[in-house]
Amino acid sequence: MGIFDFFTGKSKAAPAVAGATDNAAAPADALAKELQGYGFDVSGVDIEVNGDTVTLNGAVNSRAELEKIVLAVGNSKGVAKVENNLIAPDHDPTQPSGIHVVVAGDTLWKIAEAHYGDGARYEEIFEANKPLLKHPDKIYPGQRLRIPGASGSALAQAGGWAPPAEIAGKA
């Protein structure tokens, strides 16, 4: 759970869900349809849209699905913030996966080298981001990717997430 910051000036390669503008997310029903198109079961998910902020409430089947849904919505055109209130049976909000924010010149190989010390492990990142990624070479600046096995600190360093104060010990 938490708030994930994205930015609205996304790459032209970012998914443009029907009804989205540069400064406003697509309507909730269009976002749900987009998620279903990726193969996610969103029957237990309530999506609320307020300008460029999307709130996700409900339950999903797994932590991986939860994280992919948050990233799919956040990487969409017009979304600047995703408030994640989703729960999953195997989700521990104090132990989020790492997130990498793609910059110009990044490749999955370079990202794997940075997070794992071994570029050959790029396939783990590719697999962890399916169905959001269709090909390992099709990433774009500003896109956020799940990094399995990376700590929440890697996620925070990427600028994509910071734990709530009560989790970070700052309450």
Enumerate the domain spans of the chain: 2-87, 98-162
- The pLDDT of residue 36 is 96
Angle between helical axes of 28-37 and 63-74 (0-180°, round to 10): 130
Predicted confidence (pLDDT) per residue in 36-45, tens digit: 999 999 999 9
Residues 132, 138, 143, 148, CA torsion sign: positive
Domain 2-87 in this protein, CATH class: alpha beta
Task: Name the pLDDT band for 148 (thresholds 50, 70, 90).
Answer: confident
Helical segments of 17-97, H only: 28-37, 63-74
Architecture of domain 98-162: Roll (3.10)
Query: By C-alpha distance, which of 62, 15, 25 is closest to 40?
Result: 62
